Chains A and B, each alone.
Chain A
Amino acid sequence: MTALGDILALLEGDAQADRVVPRTGQAARLSLATSAAMAFLAVFAMALSMASGRLADRWSDALARSSTIRISAPAAELEAQTWAVLTVLEQTPGVESARALTDEEQQALLEPWFGPELPVDDLPIPRLIEVSETAEGYDGDGLRQRLAAEAPGAVLDDHTRWRRPLVEAAGRLRLLGWVSLVLILGATGAMVTLAAQSALAANEQVIRVTRLVGARDSYIARAFVRRFTLRALTGASAGTALGMVAVLLLPGAGDSDSFLTGLGFAGSQWLWPLVIPVLAAITAFIATRVAALRTLRGLQ
């Protein structure tokens, strides 16, 4: 008696065997409804995980981008201040590299606004320095103070840094989503176990009689396992479908940076919820099988 063989026999079905164990209307409806509710919740937990995952990725991309230092100074001092800033940066822990943009690069940046004919050389355009951080990042306030001392025309623009705690929060939220999924699955397993145990207890006489006429444990267990697995599959499919529709109907907004409006699935992520009914069925299969075999071993 292998688990695989049991699964195959399960899919095959056995109308006769199904009749041997009488149907219990209420237990069936309850386990169906609970599976549906659990799957519905699972869809949201999954949506939460994936949305916060996307957010965390997007924000940490932004974090990885270099910050910039803008030096505005009279043309005569510009060169000297640029050097000063670069020197400061070289000594600043947390700065991976720093580099002044060339005139051509600056012109390319400005081109979308002013056109290609811009005479960069004749204009008092500030010098831009591109700073890339190490993973730890630098101390923004400390750097700002030193820059003020060494190069009064330098302005540090690190507007992305405020997002760092948000990225952490989003990462934590993603983790919580997955933990919720695991908890929901565990609760489903516990629920199915209880329902199966009560069904087994209610059918003790049936089990006794079938044992007496030569039924093996696996045969009796299968009748219960099949029933509960199909119920979990059906209920969870319905719950998942409802959950997906509910997520689909969440009002969206163009700006997907906003957390609430971004709650949902993107592209191929819509396939993920389809795993939920399968997981529910597997959970029910294992829970019922364990409960049934344990109960049977306890009986004569």
Chain B
Amino acid sequence: MIVMEEAAYGYGTEPLLADLSLQLQPGSFHFLTGPSGAGKTTFLKLCYAELLPTAGRIQLLGVDAAALDRDGVADLRRRIGVVHQDCQFLDHLPTSENIALPLTVSGRATPDQAANLSELVSWVGLKSRAHALPPELSGGERQRAALARAIIMDPDVILADEPTGNVDWDMSLRLLQLLVELNRMGKTVVIATHDLALIRAAKSQVQARVLRIQGGHVTVAGADL
């Protein structure tokens, strides 16, 4: 799904991430962890071609990210669902329309998907909040809406950046549950988080690999978790 070969990235002249070589297999479940500012969000941005590596190569769904034109990037993002750290909603559209946005912009919004949409909205527990505007949602509601939007296109890969960033423990577990269910449906899942308790909670439910970013390098974390 995602293959990195000696990839590196730096915002300025200083490299932030270096020498990234890894493969995320289809259907795998990964946690990405590391201290704040280590580059977790940056790593995920490389995974959906918002950023291109400054060195090395990154293959996304079998294509070289650097070789994609703008339409190619757009098409790729329809196949990779992303839960952004800051959610990224259109504040003037109701939550349900925000969730359906990927369908709308890809021209795939058809009437018979209305049923799917309301099913999905119920699944993330937002049925009663579907008509609210994003700024009117609570932190946890926003996270669930973002997750719903990430999966509405039935993507092969789901990248979630701090999906439990500002919710209580019960809600964290519920969101984790949703992602585990998606993984059982065969989707590749990557969750960036610094919440070690969440990772431990997941270990009992799913075979997860933990990637740790520290000092600009990614290592597979050992048994200290």
Contacts and interface: CB of A to CB of B under 8 A. Distances in A.
Interface of A: 1, 16-17, 19-20, 22, 206, 208-219, 296-297, 300
A24 to B, nearest CB: 11
A133 B40 CA distance: 90
B43 interface: no
B50 A212 contact: yes
Contact of B93 (A20, A214, A217, A297): A20
7 contacts: A20-B90, A22-B90, A206-B90, A212-B82, A213-B149, A214-B106, A216-B105
B77 A214 contact: yes
Interface in B71-127: 71, 74-78, 82, 84, 88-90, 92-93, 97, 101-102, 104-107, 109
A183 B92 CA distance: 39
Given A209-B88, A212-B77, A213-B77, A20 B101 contact: yes
Contacts of A19: 93, 97
Nearest to B89: A209
B153 interface: yes
A77 B135 CA distance: 108
Interface of B: 50, 70-71, 74-78, 82, 84, 88-90, 92-93, 97, 101-102, 104-107, 109, 149, 153
Given A19-B97, A20-B105, A300-B50, A214 B74 contact: yes
A17 B70 contact: no
A17 B104 contact: yes
A219 B93 CA distance: 18
B104 A214 contact: no
B93 A216 contact: no
Contacts of B106: 214-215
Contacts of A206: 90
A209 to B, nearest CB: 5
Nearest to B51: A300
Given A210-B101, A210-B105, A22 B70 contact: no
A23 to B, nearest CB: 9
Given A213-B102, A215-B105, A215-B106, 16 more contacts: A19-B93, A22-B90, A208-B88, A210-B90, A210-B101, A211-B74, A211-B77, A212-B88, A214-B76, A214-B77, A214-B78, A216-B70, A216-B75, A217-B74, A297-B70, A300-B50
Given A19-B97, A20-B101, A215 B88 contact: no
Given A297-B70, A300-B50, A213 B105 contact: yes
A187 to B, nearest CB: 32
Q: Which of B50, B74, B89 has the most CB of A within 10 A?
A: B74
Nearest to B76: A214
Contacts of A213: 77, 101-102, 105, 149
- Most chain B beta-carbon neighbours within 10 Å: one of A16, A22, A297: A16
A266 to B, nearest CB: 49
A206 B92 CA distance: 10
Contact of A216 (B50, B71, B149): B71
Contact of A214 (B90, B92, B109, B153): B153
Nearest to B73: A211
Contact of A217 (B70, B84, B102): B70
Contacts of A217: 70-71, 74
Contacts of A211: 74, 77
Nearest to A206: B90
Nearest to B92: A22
Given A16-B104, A20-B105, A214 B88 contact: no
A216 B104 CA distance: 12
Give me the 10 closest cross-chain CB pairs, A-B, nearest first: A215-B105, A214-B78, A214-B77, A213-B102, A216-B74, A22-B92, A16-B104, A209-B88, A213-B101, A216-B71
Contacts of A216: 70-71, 74-75, 105
Contacts of B149: 213
Contacts of B105: 17, 20, 210, 213-216, 219
A212 B88 CA distance: 9
Contacts of A214: 74-78, 102, 105-106, 153
Nearest to A216: B74
A213 B104 CA distance: 10
Contacts of A218: 71
A31 to B, nearest CB: 20
